[in-house]
Amino acid sequence: MNYAIETNGLSKFYGDVFAVNKVNLRVKRGEIYSFLGLNGAGKTTTIRALLGMIRPSEGNVKVLGQALGPGGRGPWARVGHLVESPCAYPDLSVRENLDIARRLHGIRNPKVVDDVMNKLTIASYSNRKAGTLSSGNFQRLGLARALLHNPELLILDEPSNALDPAGIVEIRELLISLAREHETTIFMSSHILTEVNLLADRIGIIHEGSLIEELDAARLEELRSQRLVIDTRDLSKAREALASFEVTTLADGRLATNDPRAIASPELIATLLVNAGAPPIHLAIEQENLEEYFLRLTESNNE
């Protein structure tokens, strides 16, 4: 299969320290792949290796079917990127910064600069010096540079950083439209797990340099643990009534159980509670969110 991104045993170490350890990534064309990890987990090192900015200590990288060559040679005319925080020449205007990117991409038509400024809603700042932009608009400028040449593959490090809530929604919709309508492959790292939840087709979780989990978004739904949360006016009676279940007390005082019988038949729990004289005032199945799943996974790997 011809993947948009393929790494085989990708490793990068500095002395005895492994920044990335034998990472095997397979990103299909047209999919949105989210790359999750704590600070220092190896996300940015991986992204830099994908872009030929650092040389792997071991393993190899293929981007859009092409192995990266010496001197960082790669199919960069078809790849857009935003690595770590965006950057621009502060004493040059937004338009001039984008014009530099256009020329470096060998695009003759200057209209692409106007198009991308309109797409990222920064046209009104076109003559403003980049150094005077707000952090949100600076982020948009970085994204505009990545999107300028309509790339087949976008590699984005924290694309929603510094954006306000409206901006986050706007960029999310833009990325979804690029993936669904233009079949652009998007490989993105993010700390905003709700964004990942809403965007990603597939998720890779990197921890201490190793890829510890790679799964489809649909599979993630199945893997996230569920629990039945219970609240009554008499919690001690409720606990007695549910003695045959493994019940824990949540931080807010309510009860919760992961017992599959309770999750499969919450009405059974309701009956037990009513019969014990502690009728439920709240009885709901809650699913672990991505954040909780992520923390559970990384913590279990630490143990």
Partner 1 sequence: MNNFLSALWIETLKMRRSKVPLFTAIGFSIAPLVGGLLMIILKDPEAARSMGLISTKAQMLAGVADWPTYFNVLAQAVAVGGAILFAIITIWVFGREFSDRTAKELLALPTSRETIISAKFVVIALWTFVLSLFIFGLGLVVGKLVVIPGWSMGLLQTSFVDVLGTALLVIAMLPIVAFAASIGRGYMPPFGWTIFTVVMAQVAVITGWGDWFPWSVPALFSGAIGPRAEQLGIHSYVIVILFSIIGLVATYYWWRNADQTR
Binding footprint of partner 1 on the chain (CB under 8 A): 48, 51-55, 70-74, 76-77, 79, 81, 83-85, 87-92, 96, 100-101, 103-106, 145
Least separation in angstroms between residue 172's CB and partner 1 is 24
Least separation in angstroms between residue 292's CB and partner 1 is 32
CB closer to partner 1 out of 51 and 290: 51
Least separation in angstroms between residue 186's CB and partner 1 is 16
CB closer to partner 1 out of 50 and 228: 50
Least separation in angstroms between residue 181's CB and partner 1 is 25
Least separation in angstroms between residue 123's CB and partner 1 is 21
CB closer to partner 1 out of 90 and 277: 90
CB closer to partner 1 out of 100 and 123: 100
Least separation in angstroms between residue 77's CB and partner 1 is 4
CB closer to partner 1 out of 45 and 190: 45
CB closer to partner 1 out of 37 and 74: 74
Are 3 and 27 within 8 A, CB to CB? yes
